[in-house]
Amino acid sequence: MDLEILKDRLQYKIEFDADFSFCIKKQSVPLAKRWELFEFAVEKKLFVNINSYAHSKILESNPNFSWYDDFNIERRETNTFVNIIDMLEDKLADALDPAYTWTTLDKCLCKTVEEINALKEEFLASGYSGFTYDW
């Protein structure tokens, strides 16, 4: 492949990353649309920016919070924020469904859709697609 073509593609990627980061952080765009874009980019590996630490004011405000206990994330395991949100949404849906008796609302880290949406905003603002649990 021609080196000039590769340089052009790299420049396009740099511009894409800047535009993408700007768009997902722009709160004038509805959260549902920004999260859908983020999910698509992360799942298709178009946006991969893994941090070595995942700090979440929302999750860490719970004194019993643990990445391992609450999400079964092992040390040195990489996870995306999309995966974390999916797990939280599933737990909340199960807790609100009377047919599921083994999951209760008091065991959910996020007890409302609004809390999950606040966490989505936190993740989008971070500029990362996920993290490696290594602490």
Give the pLDDT confidence score for residue 71 in this predicted structure.
80
Under the banding of pLDDT at 50, 70 and 90, the label for residue 26 is very high
The range of the structural domain enclosing residue 79 comes to 3-133
Mean pLDDT of 52-66: 77
User: Which residue type, as a one-letter code, is found at position 40?
Assistant: F
Cβ(70)–Cβ(109) under 8 Å?
A: yes
Cβ(37)–Cβ(24) under 8 Å?
A: yes
Mean pLDDT of 107-119: 88
3-state secondary structure of 115: helix
Greater confidence, 122 or 104? 122
Q: Please give the backbone phi and psi of residue 24, each rounded to the nearest 5 degrees, phi first.
A: -70, -20
The Cα 105–Cα 119 span in angstroms is 17
Share of residues in the chain with pLDDT > 90 (%) = 30
Q: What is the total count of domains within the chain? A: 1
Whether the pLDDT of residue 9 is over 90: the answer is: no
Under the banding of pLDDT at 50, 70 and 90, the label for residue 1 is low
Mean pLDDT of 89-98: 86
Give the pLDDT confidence score for residue 135 in this predicted structure.
66
Instruction: Find, among 18, 80, 21, the residue nearest to 54 by Cα.
Output: 80
Greater confidence, 129 or 62? 129
Beta pairing, strands 130-133 & 50-51: parallel
Whether the pLDDT of residue 38 is over 80: the answer is: yes
- Burial class from Cβ neighbours inside 10 Å (0-12, 13-18, 19+) for residue 123 reads buried
Instruction: Round the average pLDDT of the chain to a whole number and report it.
Output: 85
